[in-house]
Chain A
Amino acid sequence: MRKFFPVEDLARDERFNQITMNDRMADQRTAITTDSRPSRAANRIVPSRGDASDAARGLMHGIFVGEIQALEGAGRTCWDFTTGEEAPFELKLDMARQCWDEARHVEISIKLSDWMGSEIGEYAENTVLFQAACSNDPVLRLAGVNRALEGLAIDVFTTMKEFGEVAGDQYLEFAEDWMLADEVTHVKMGSDWLRKITENDPERRKKALDFQSVVDKLFSYGGTRSESQESPIGLARRFRELAGFDDQEIDVIADLSLAALEERKAAVLEAQAAHN
């Protein structure tokens, strides 16, 4: 088996369709819709939103494939690096623990998708999460996956948990709450290892934090996640604090997300003006 596994080779059965980030943004059925008319003041996934069920199902499928890739990425970090030389033994133990957690998240996601009435492969799979797990520096993987993407997972699960609460769907609320607990643990692993490994290596720390903000920005594309009600997904400040983010770091992500939202609104207005 090779060290470093290319994203194109991720093994899937015939139900799965893999696509790029741009393809996904163009899929009208997903929660992350391109339909961002300024008149639509509240995009947040709440039961009162007209297309709430569809949006929630699409988001759930996104979570499901994200969990598979998180599982694969954590597993590859156990394999790709020489223990003790390229990655500490204890870091690998954490990654192995994450494998078990993500495997349970895949199981939970399948049960939840069933519950919400969608099927495996009904929506496309965006493989960008695994791409962030392909870095040849384990610290960059932890920054990109554990801090940026699983930070986003905290936001997503909090939004979905609230959706379950408001909709009176205890099954959904229960499952999201448990996954949220695990994700806080994973983000904290990222925060702790980033600090520990780069303690005396400011350059490597900067590189990792830069990579994290690239991934954060990528996922803020179109303002999908922000503190504005116009974004489908909120920013879960309290859980991020538990996971080792400080106030300043959360503010940066909040600003980044809002800027991305404004950018998309401006682009939509421009496109509409050109059309009229």
Chain B
Amino acid sequence: MADAKKPRAPFAPWDRRELPGLFSVEESARRVGAYKWCELKLFEALGGWIATVPELDVKMRLGAHCYKHAWHAELWHKRLPELREMNPDRLSVAPNEDMVSFIAALTEPEAPELTIEKLVGVYRVFIPHFISAYTFHLNNTSDITDAPTMRSLRFILQDEFEDWRDGEMLIQSLIETPAEVDRAAAHQARLEKILLAAGGITGSGTIGFNSPKHEGVMA
């Protein structure tokens, strides 16, 4: 039987968690606020599009995914006060004006023939950027001090991967001609250029690099 009085190391030999992390409380809160804003914009758009897509399977998928992103927004909303932001709305903002332009361009398509564009914007552009931003946060924050954020990040990332796969398969099933391949690629490129200027979900430095615009490379 174990000796109840015998001292044990507080960190087991296999426990590699470390201090400090890359983010201060303020920086973590700023990022979380941007996540919330982006997830909110995404679930609003998915909800709005449901009535505009004629494909029944896509219609139903959008409904399921709309809820998942709303849940992510809710998790981030609840995390903000724990990061000393008692007025969550103050930080629930776009990281910059380019991100606002990105959302405007993302949500532009409405006609029933534009399902490919709607899906490309979400599943080939926005969601991959969420995956990058969340992964960067997960890999760089302190797994001791910021463990509650990491727990949410892991749940959310699982959703993002699953939704990305769902969306990508829908896109592949909708694209039937070389012209449609071009359409999808052109729309993706247009949106990516705006996100490049924005620097990603949380602005310049989303995944550790400054965006070219912020280094003066882009006009």
Interface residues of A (CB under 8 A from B): 1-2, 5, 9-13, 68, 71-72, 74-80, 83-84, 89, 92-93, 95-97, 99-100, 102-104, 106-107, 120, 130
Return the chain A residue nearest B113 by Cβ.
A11
A96 & B43 in contact (Cβ 8 Å cutoff) = yes
State which of A10, A13, A72, A92 has its C-beta within 8 Å of the C-beta of B44. A92
A76 and B53 CA atoms in complex are apart in Å by 13
Determine whether the beta carbon of A76 is less than 8 Å from that of B63: no
Name the prevailing secondary structure of the A interface residues. Answer: helix
CB-defined contacts of B54 to chain A, threshold 8 Å:
11-13
User: What residues on B are CB-neighbors of A11 within 8 Å?
Assistant: 51-54, 59, 112
The binding surface of chain B is classed by DSSP as helix
Nearest 3 A/B pairs, CB to CB: A79-B48, A78-B47, A103-B63
Contacts of A9 in B (CB 8 A): 51-52
Q: Is B166 in contact with chain A by the CB < 8 A criterion?
A: no
- Closest approach, in angstroms, between the C-beta of B38 and any C-beta of chain A? 13
Q: How far is the CA of A72 from the CA of B66 in the complex (A)?
A: 11
15 contacts between A and B (CB under 8 A): A5-B51, A13-B55, A72-B50, A72-B59, A75-B48, A75-B62, A75-B63, A78-B47, A89-B40, A89-B73, A93-B70, A93-B74, A96-B47, A99-B63, A102-B63
Q: How far is the CA of A98 from the CA of B70 in the complex (A)?
A: 11
Q: Is the CB of B109 within 8 A of A71?
A: no
User: Hey, which chain B residues are within 8 Å of A107, CB to CB?
Assistant: 60
Taking each of B52, B55, B68, B109, which has the highest tally of chain A beta carbons within 10 Å of its own beta carbon? B52
CB distance from B126 to the nearest CB of A (A): 15
Verify if B45 is at the interface (C-beta below 8 Å from A).
yes
Bound-complex Cα distance A107 to B61 (A): 10
**Is B44 in contact with A79, judged by CB distance below 8 angstroms?**
yes
Contact yes or no, A106 B47, CB < 8 A: no
Assess whether B73 is in contact with A95, with CB atoms less than 8 Å apart. Answer: no
- The answer to whether B51 and A99 have CB atoms under 8 Å apart is no
When the two chains form their complex, are residues A71 and B107 in contact, meaning their CB atoms are under 8 A apart? Answer: no
Residue of A nearest to B61 (CB): A103
With A11-B52, A96-B70, A103-B64: A1-B108 Cβ-Cβ less than 8 Å: yes
10 new A-B contacts, CB < 8 A, other than A1-B52, A89-B73, A103-B60, are: A5-B52, A11-B51, A13-B56, A68-B56, A68-B59, A72-B51, A92-B40, A92-B43, A92-B70, A93-B73
| B165: min CB distance to chain A, Å | 17
Query: Which B130-181 residues have a C-beta within 8 angstroms of A?
Result: none
The reply on B123 being an interface residue by CB < 8 A is no
Q: What chain B residues lie within 8 Å of A79 (beta carbons)?
A: 44-45, 47-48
User: Which A residues touch B49, using CB under 8 A?
Assistant: 1, 75
B59 touches A71 (CB 8 A): yes
> Quick check: is B129 within 8 A (CB to CB) of the other chain?
no
Contact partner of A96 (CB less than 8 A), chosen from B51, B53, B61, B66, is: B66
What B residues does A76 contact at CB under 8 A?
A: 47-48, 50-51
Q: Would you list which residues of chain B between 43 and 93 have a CB under 8 Å from chain A?
A: 43-56, 59-64, 66-71, 73-74, 77, 89
Asked if B63 and A100 make an inter-chain contact with CB atoms under 8 angstroms apart, the answer reads yes
- In-complex Cβ contact of B89 among A77, A84, A96 (8 A): A84
Tell whether B26 is near chain A: CB-to-CB under 8 Å: no
Q: Are A99 and B67 in contact (CB under 8 A)?
A: yes
A176: min CB distance to chain B, Å? 19
**B24–chain A nearest beta-carbon distance, Å:** 26
Q: Which B residues are CB-close (under 8 A) to A72?
A: 50-51, 59
A74 to B44, CA, bound (A): 10
* B27 contacts across to A, CB distance below 8 A: none
Nearest chain B CB to A62 CB, angstrom units: 17
Minimum distance in angstroms from A85 CB to a CB of chain B? 11
Nearest-CB distance from A118 to chain B (Å)? Answer: 16
A residues within 8 A CB of B182? none
Selected from B56, B66, B108, the residue in CB contact (under 8 A) with A75 is: B66
A1 to B41, CA, bound (A): 13
> Cα distance A213–B110 when bound, in Å?
33
- Distance to closest chain A CB from B102 (angstroms): 15
Nearest-neighbour CB distance to chain B for A121, whole angstroms, equals 11
Q: Return chain B residues, CB-CB under 8 Å to A77.
A: 47
Closest chain-A Cβ to B167's Cβ sits at a distance in Å of: 15
Q: Which residue of A lies closest to B89 (CB)?
A: A84
Contact A83 B47 (CB under 8 A): no
- Chain B CB within 10 A, most for which of A72, A96, A97, A102: A96
Instruction: Chain A residues near B48: list those with CB within 8 A.
Output: 1, 5, 75-76, 78-80
B66 touches which of A1, A100, A106, A130 (Cβ 8 Å): A100
